Amino acid sequence: MAKIHPPQHIHLVGIGGSGLSAIARVLLGQGYRVSGSDRAANVLTEALARDGAAVYTGHDARYIAGADALIITSAVNESHVEVAAARAAGVPIYRRQDIMADLMEGRMVIAVAGTKGKTTTTSMIVHILRMCGQDPGYIVGGVMGSTGTNAGVGKGDYFVVEADEYDNMFLGLKPDIAVITNIEWDHPDFFRTPEAMVEAFQAFADLVPAAGALVVNADDPTANRLAKQQEQVREIVHRYRVNSTNDYLYRAYNPEPDANGGMTFAVSGFLREPHAPRLPVRLPVPGMHNVQNALAALVASSLANCSPRDAAKALESFVPPARRFEVRADVNGVAVIDDYAHNPMSIRAVLEAARRRYPARAIWAVWQPHTYSRTQALWDDFKTAFALADHVLVTDIYAAREQPVEGVNSAALVAAMPHPDARHTPAFSEAVNALREGVQPPAAIIIMSAGDAPQIGVDYLKGLEARR
């Protein structure tokens, strides 16, 4: 996009997705004319339309009229009607990784990567910097709880971005500070082997200049191996760990659930003074994974010139992004929680958080598998991911952009699970009925999906309201 400047016209194909909607918001803030199209409207496109973007429902060659450039989502191919029209008209076409660095030109970039935790960690860093008096730009893969949006152009020195590994988007970034929360094989439709994914993360780490900073979760074995490799070529890697007796620079100690459903812990490595005490942290979200996310955010924020004490204080008012352990309701002893978890690592982490927050409640896990390729590749890990749930309901697979694969289906996966109460509920209505018939207070229902299964929680709660 080096030859495109405001107020020229950028058209985004797939503007309703989490990635392109955030880019569209930044483009609007930078003074571009923005238009875009998607199959259906949603809250993100509606917000963009209110803020001045021309948003079209459906796809048509006419929608690109007057565009100086197209930005397309990873799911769009050359046969798409708007892409074909742009090619015929000589309009340049870019993917996310082609334009991200240009969006942040002149800013110090903090990029957060990882199989899980990157949306929450990115949101924490943005929140901390804002509470420390900075005005960062940001792109997050979810709607931030504290700002109500997924992106902002900001006017400060820093730009914080969620570094998505899919389609190697994060390799188009120029990070000054890079965070790696963990590495576990995912997106098998793109990364055909675990090794291919690790190689991509290694390439991402290599993007950090010698004068920059690499922040890595040493509790994750694969990420820690990457950190050790990076220590051969750079002076320091900022590794962090929870409850470690080893000599890691940044550590969190004694994380425990608090009475308000969050976590308390103490951290070391931040106060640069003799015999410095451990810094207490109160986090309003549950789970060991969020302790790790918070520790990463504290390290990155301190490297971005935020006082560690101010950063720790800021976390007390953190509101998690939408669909990250989002408690939709807690009615008559039954909590309904919506979460984006869709890979084995995330599922295990969310169920661990639920156990910590609701130790005396029955845990109902409702899961919508996401894509046939992921379900097939991670089959064995999915089978055992639900050990911390008392009851498991599995809907049919959300195909997204994929075609069915013979033998890969929810019924077969449930049959292979060692869990004593795992059931296949193909349709949402069946899952809702199973919940209505089986859930007894005290209980917590965790609906995990990267697709459209949050509707199960909506329908279940409607039934509760109708019976009141």
Q: Is 462 a residue of the active site?
A: no
Q: What are the structure tokens assigned to 210, written together? A: 């010698």
Strand-by-strand arrangement of the 33-38 sheet: 54-57, 33-38, 9-13, 69-72, 93-95
Q: How many CB atoms lie within 10 A of CB 14?
A: 22
Residue 253, Cα to own-chain centre: how many angstroms? 25
Distance between CA atoms of 383 and 133, rounded to whole angstroms? 46
Residues in Cβ contact with 64 at an 8 Å cutoff, skipping those fewer than 6 apart: 11, 70, 82, 85, 86, 89, 91
For the chain, give the number of residues: 468
Q: Identify whether 3 is a catalytic site residue.
A: no
- The helix or strand, by DSSP H or E, that contains position 328, with its residue range, turns out to be strand 326-331
Residues 70 and 461: their CA atoms lie apart, in Å, by: 41
Task: Give me the catalytic one of 118, 120, 122, 181.
Answer: 118
**Do the bridges between strand 137-139 and strand 69-72 make them parallel or antiparallel, or are there none, so unpaired?**
unpaired
Q: Which amino acid is located at 113 in the chain?
A: A
d(CA 73, CA 91): 16
Classify each residue of 109-122 as buried b or exposed e, where b means 16 or more C-beta atoms within 10 Å of its C-beta: bbbbbbbbbbbbbb
Candidate list 73, 115, 119, 222, residue with the active-site label? 119
Determine which one of 162, 165, 184, 326 is catalytic. 162
Which sequence positions are flagged as catalytic? 118-119, 162
